[in-house]
Amino acid sequence: MASGVKPRVKVPKTAAAGDVITIKTLISHKMESGQRKGDDGNLIPRSIINRFTADFNGQNVIDVTIEPAVSTNPYFEFEALVPEAGEFQFTWYDDDGSVYETAKKIAIG
């Protein structure tokens, strides 16, 4: 597991049924591409978040495959339809097999 990894998500607390909302996500991660050499001249092993998913009430909203060219601390902003009250589940997958998750609820109001 990479050290210092912290997912952050911004989702409105409420929306009207049928609204399209903006969601912002960021995860603190060094994102080492595996193409850089260390001080010893050897390649630094690749260590990236390679996939990000967001689901709403069990239905997939977005599924992103991430490549080594993505910068440190990957940020995603996207829109999602909110048909009802529920919960967004956000998941980031690391090369080392670690999975980082967080969830945010949204109410209809």
Residue 18's alpha-carbon distances to 46, 70, 106, 108, in angstroms, are 41, 32, 13, 10
Quote the domain boundaries for residue 15: 6-108
Phi/psi-derived region of residue 97, left when phi > 0, alpha when psi is between -120 and 50, beta in every other case: left
Q: Does 59 fall in a domain?
A: yes
Q: Does 1 fall in a domain?
A: no
Whole-model pTM? 0.90
Between residues 66 and 2, which one has the greater pLDDT?
A: 66
Q: For residue 23, what are its two tokens?
A: 């969601």
Q: Does 35 fall in a domain?
A: yes
Number of compact structural domains in the chain: 1
User: pLDDT tens digits, residue range 30-87?
Assistant: 888 888 999 999 999 888 999 999 999 999 999 999 998 889 999 999 999 999 999 9
Give the pLDDT score at 1: 60
CATH number at residue 33: 2.60.40.10
> Distance between CA 68 and CA 34 in Å, rounded?
8
